[in-house]
Amino acid sequence: MQDIYFTPIQAAEFLGVSKYTLQNQRVQRVGPPFIKIRNRLVRYKKADLIAYLEKNRVLTVG
């Protein structure tokens, strides 16, 4: 299976946040892992985004 990579805009849409939120998270070193190519090009691995969502899942007792 081949890895799927998203641009910041695609990743933001996938996560339901703005591209500016992801940009701020990168600067603050919080949020999902990302890949930086040649100090300019940013990509997010789909599997990392899914893992980030799962890690931040809140379980409720009902």
Residue 46 is predicted with a pLDDT of 97
Phi and psi of 5, rounded to 5°? -120, 140
11 touches 50 (CB < 8 A): no
Residue 15 is predicted with a pLDDT of 97
* 61 lies in some domain: no
Number of domains in the chain: 1
Residue 22 is predicted with a pLDDT of 96
Q: Write down the pTM of the prediction.
A: 0.87
CATH of the domain at 48: 1.10.1660.10
Residue 2 is predicted with a pLDDT of 87
Show the domain range for 33. 5-55
* 62 lies in some domain: no
3-state secondary structure of 56: coil
Q: Residue 11 burial (CB < 10 Å; 0-12/13-18/19+)?
A: buried
* 28 lies in some domain: yes
* 23 lies in some domain: yes
Which residues of the chain are modeled with pLDDT < 70? 1
Residue 1 is predicted with a pLDDT of 66
Residue 62 is predicted with a pLDDT of 72
